[in-house]
Chains A and B, each alone.
Chain A
């Protein structure tokens, strides 16, 4: 596995981030995959996805959030309150769900309580829950407002040319990620899910040029591999709530299985999941980030999401699906119930699990369920 990806995927302040800061670079954190990161790259700012890894307690976040909310935003607040995000020059919150939206209130309040915990620039980016018509126009305007806010705060100019360059660079990343997805379909297997997922997460924590360089090296290495012993393992697809910790994938793979694909708010879903480089950049970004959404926050588009997932699962030749949701993540928790029904109709075995975000305190319980599911798949294979 590439050490550079492991470092980026397991550390809030990875060496890449430290180097960027040492050179005087600005860094902005964001909370949700609906954020068009190209805007920041066009302003020479490093955008990083806010994560809650390595939060070992919740004593700060419990002062702001109540007990009945998802542990992911609580973990982010905990880290921010304990100074782990000291290197941020700004934060953009968006309304991924009720709890993430309310992070805006909680973090501001914490900023008043804990000196230095609120970055000097704290911005709210409003994402509609529909992909078209007036919602599309709203998102375009939100991008315009965000550009103006970045320019004002950081004294930069985001030109169309720079935006197009940033789009081009991100598309290059997406193409490489899609190459990885294709390699994950191959038999015999040459890559584990853990390796692939660590690489995918790392992309949200590293400068794009550096990331792309490592990603292409990684791709070449995989292509030159002969065969992985994982070939007789059960191939699984992973979906559900945010998971920015590849340890969950590792845990699944420790149970005689390999994760061949994910439908989580990281990475890429299909080869068309690109930003158009010929259309107007703002329209093109909106078409990609809003209209191509696969998140259950877009209520009313379940059938499209289910169809897309079923198609992907079949293309990946997955033997089964593990659907996970963080406790109190109702959006995924509920959608997983619908998916379970529809997977069954399509003869796709699935396992639903609910978990806590953060350190794998539930490792034993989860592993037991993964083992049982994989055993079922194997038995079903023998009986076929």
Chain B
């Protein structure tokens, strides 16, 4: 049971930020699709980097 729990924690990332990060990645993809193609890669990258910064600053380990 302990092994299963550890695997579950490992997959879940043991925080709500990790799944939220994925949700934001999807939002980033949708948002970048709404801008002109020339800006798309930049907007997508900035949104994902922003997610990383927010997940590091606002979550307490």
A and B bind: no
